[in-house]
Amino acid sequence: MVLGSLEGEVPFKTELAEAFHKTKYKLDYSQDINAWLPKSHCFNYPGDVGHLSL
C-alpha cells in the first residue's frame, strides 16, 4: 500500500504500522505522493486520527 502526505511526513505512521502489523499489507511511504495521486484513490482526513478505532 502506497502512502504519503502532501505536506511533509505522514504524522501517524506509528498508528498505521500498529493497525497493519498482523496483515499481509506492506506499507510503502512515497516522498512524491503528489505525482502518484492522479493514478490512485485518495482519502483525505485533516486532523488527528487518534480517536479512530484501528
Number of folded domains that form the chain: 1
What pLDDT does 54 receive?
45
Q: Is residue 27 part of a domain?
A: yes
* Tally of CA atoms within 13 A in the half-sphere of 14 that contains its CB: 3
> Could you write out the DSSP letters of every residue in the chain?
-EE--SSSS-TTHHHHHHHHTTSS---EE-TTHHHHGGGS------S--TTS--
Q: Is residue 51 part of a domain?
A: no
Give the residue, 54 or 27, on which the prediction is more confident. 27
Q: Is residue 21 part of a domain?
A: yes
Residue 16 is part of which domain span? Answer: 2-39
Q: Is residue 12 part of a domain?
A: yes
Question: pTM for the full model?
Answer: 0.56
What pLDDT does 46 receive?
61
Average pLDDT over residues 5-21: 89
pLDDT in tens, 14-48: 999 999 999 998 998 888 777 766 655 555 556 65
**Start-to-end C-alpha separation, the chain:** 16
